[in-house]
Chain A
């Protein structure tokens, strides 16, 4: 997945001179997760560079560059550290097009590794997507595999709107099925075949990972893989939808599936209250009420800070997901 992200950036740097890549430790070193490895050497230090350690500054200069015709792609080293940039993103970047009557806009891309499962404690584990989906003017995507990591990132860079790209850091080196003692790599995974050339995964389209008739399971990021295992443990036949795009999201795919299965379980790592799952649940209820055979349920992180030692009791596990699916089947 790291190579897929790298390849997307490499393609876009080669294709478009206006693309710049920067962030903390992104340049010479190639990023603390190695996603920008080799790009400075290949494309030059004026196009791929290290910045001062200042997320607010990074977002603000991206805003300015985007306004002035460039296509900056900046990295926030961990999603937990996006908050010093929050004002720039929420009040400035998101609203520029609207506030200027469409005269100005800033089509920037902000990439950030998110989510838990790496023993990162409070501040290297959070999954703050709903803090951005709740901000009109931003597009938000959340990749889960090498294939969509590359395709979504290219779509984000080519978008005329600012896009926040969450990358599930636990999956950088391999999928995570919920067992911390197993560390599979991507090799052999069907979504790990990544073409070297430019391709896109359109923003706004979900991905159907599994097909089934009993229940619809919706997830994004790391949880997509954990859900695969949860579905297996439940023994049920489920549609598994990897939402991939959170704003705008593929309502049609979700509604179609829930109308078919009559049941819906939504899974995310972030805390439950005001999590993006609430939006899914509400929309499913609005659109599929007459098809539902069980209440829509959510399996999420708890409404607490993300712990260090006890993180496996915090993150939704395959067991919890299986139990929620079984609960839905019982109605």
Chain B
């Protein structure tokens, strides 16, 4: 059966490669010198046509940095970015182990996508709002969140700041202006535009950044966001993370357009397509978008081109729907290795220091894990009190809820 659509009455796209086939991506022909950086303050949306179909890169295949988009950022800041990426990867591995041993119910890794939220959040100011999906937890490290509290959330134990109400990875971190993750995909994208409109209304220099997956960009919310952003021009950065997959559904089923980026041009919003495994390019495009937003020029729409190197979640087995070697042949490489190799090549880092860093983070994560499980794990408890079912449903407790709450306790809720 040919499912490429040619022999069927309805065109039904399929993934380019399926299990049993060997995946091969063309080596990217894009190089860091391909695309000029337009002046952020005078750029018109149509000036970004090449940027929406090409690929903005700074780190070349040989680990050197070049091109118009090469950002001003110190090596020490790059080392901070590298450290956070390593932290996220090791953290994710530990959480997956916890999931496998029943200490938490579910998990989602950011494998291969670590650079995105970390570089982009580092390019922002402290007062800027982060409106994430489940694949941008790394932003919390940049904003200084304590790892123990992140693990307590994932477990849903007595120290979980969302009180065991949400599934793991649905972090909330008000102090870091990191807005509560919600499972229904896409909803944050249009909400972020509202947050940005409020900032504009209040006259504050606050920018809102948000992300949506390639898959979820098929939801209405994606289009609401672009349309409202194009009408009201609030300070928002709208990222589509194209990691090729939405669970088992390939990105070519999410949209028939040539790239994800160029859809924004129809809304008269500038559009950039960036190498999502290139820390420097991510940092650079985000600074550019922030400069525009903060100057009152409205939204930027960014396609972050990357690859979901791991399973969708702990419940998923990607070998059922894609070749197992596909992650290895993805031409974008590993975002951590690319930044590490670059820093080594300029003498700012060494292999040995990198190993030491991994060792140090490993102990840090281990220590945080041990501390977190003191407050309970999913297998053994203790759990948050069942009273938390009834609190914060409303700002107060209406009588009908109070009655049910009493009933639960009478029946022996803990």
A residues less than 8 Å from B248 (CB atoms): 25, 28-29, 50
A-side binding surface: helix, strand, loop or mixed?
loop
List residues of B (150-206) whose CB comes within 8 Å of A's CBs.
156-157, 160, 164-167, 170, 182-186
| Contact call B218/A57, Cβ cutoff below 8 A | yes
| B1 contacts A by Cβ under 8 Å | yes
Q: Within the assembled complex, what's the spacing in Å between the Cα atoms of A166 and B414?
A: 32
A320 to B248 alpha-carbon distance, docked (Å): 40
**Hey, which chain B residues are within 8 Å of A41, CB to CB?**
1
Pair B184/A313 contact, Cβ less than 8 Å = no
Judge whether A53 and B185 touch: CB under 8 Å: yes
Assess the B8–A310 pair: CB atoms within 8 A: no
**Which of B105, B216, B247, B411 is A32 in contact with, Cβ under 8 Å?**
B247
Q: Are A310 and B383 closer than 8 Å at their CB atoms?
A: yes
Q: Is the CB of A53 within 8 A of B218?
A: yes
Say if the beta carbon of A269 comes within 8 Å of chain B: no
Cα(A53)–Cα(B216), bound, Å: 6
**Alpha-carbon separation in the docked complex, A310 to B156 (Å):** 9
Q: List residues of chain A with CB within 8 A of the CB of B390.
A: 302, 304
Verify A304–B401 contact, CB threshold 8 A: yes
B 347-396 contacts with A by CB, 8 A: 378, 383-386, 388-390, 393
Interchain CB contact under 8 A, A53 and B215: yes
Q: Which residues of A contact B127 (CB under 8 A)?
A: none
Query: In the complex, which residues of chain B have a beta carbon less than 8 angstroms from the beta carbon of A81?
Result: 184
Given the known interface contacts A53-B219, A122-B166, the answer about A310 and B384 at a Cβ–Cβ threshold of 8 Å is: yes
**Is the CB of A305 closer than 8 A to any CB of chain B?**
yes
Q: How many A-B pairs fall under 8 Å by CB?
A: 143
B106:A119 contact, CB within 8 angstroms:
yes
User: How long is the Cα–Cα vector from A305 to B401 in the complex, in angstroms?
Assistant: 12
Query: Which of B1, B182, B218, B253 is the one whose CB lies under 8 Å from A44?
Result: B1
Interface size for B (C-beta < 8 A) is: 58
Interface pair A313/B183, CB less than 8 Å apart: no
Q: Known interface pairs A83-B184, A308-B167. Does A25 touch B249 (Cβ–Cβ under 8 Å)? A: yes
Minimum distance in angstroms from B211 CB to a CB of chain A: 15
Output the nearest chain A residue to B318 by Cβ-Cβ distance: A29
Q: Give the residue among B106, B165, B321, B414 with the most A Cβ atoms within 10 A.
A: B165
Interface 1/0 per residue, A94-135 and B, CB below 8 Å = 000000000000000000000000011111100000000000
Taking CB atoms and an 8 Å cut-off, the chain A residues in 277-317 that contact chain B are 302-305, 307-310, 313-314
Known: A309-B378, A319-B411. A45 touches B14 (CB 8 A): yes
Residues of chain A contacted by B408 (CB below 8 angstroms): 302, 313
- From B14, B105, B183, B386, A310 is in contact (CB under 8 Å) with B386
A-B contact pairs, 24 of them (CB 8 A): A24-B247, A25-B248, A28-B321, A29-B249, A32-B247, A32-B315, A44-B8, A45-B3, A45-B14, A46-B8, A54-B220, A119-B167, A120-B167, A273-B400, A302-B390, A302-B408, A303-B400, A304-B393, A307-B389, A308-B105, A309-B383, A310-B385, A313-B413, A320-B411
Binding site for A on B (CB under 8 A): 1, 3, 8-10, 12, 14-15, 18, 105-106, 156-157, 160, 164-167, 170, 182-186, 213, 215-216, 218-220, 246-249, 253-255, 315, 320-321, 378, 383-386, 388-390, 393, 400-401, 404-405, 408, 411-414
**With contacts A54-B219, A309-B164, A310-B385 known, what are 18 further pairs, Cβ within 8 A?**
A24-B249, A25-B247, A25-B249, A28-B3, A32-B247, A52-B253, A119-B167, A121-B166, A122-B167, A123-B167, A124-B183, A273-B400, A302-B408, A304-B393, A304-B401, A307-B165, A313-B389, A320-B411
Nearest first, the 7 closest Cβ-Cβ pairs linking A and B are A309-B164, A52-B218, A29-B248, A45-B3, A123-B183, A46-B8, A309-B156
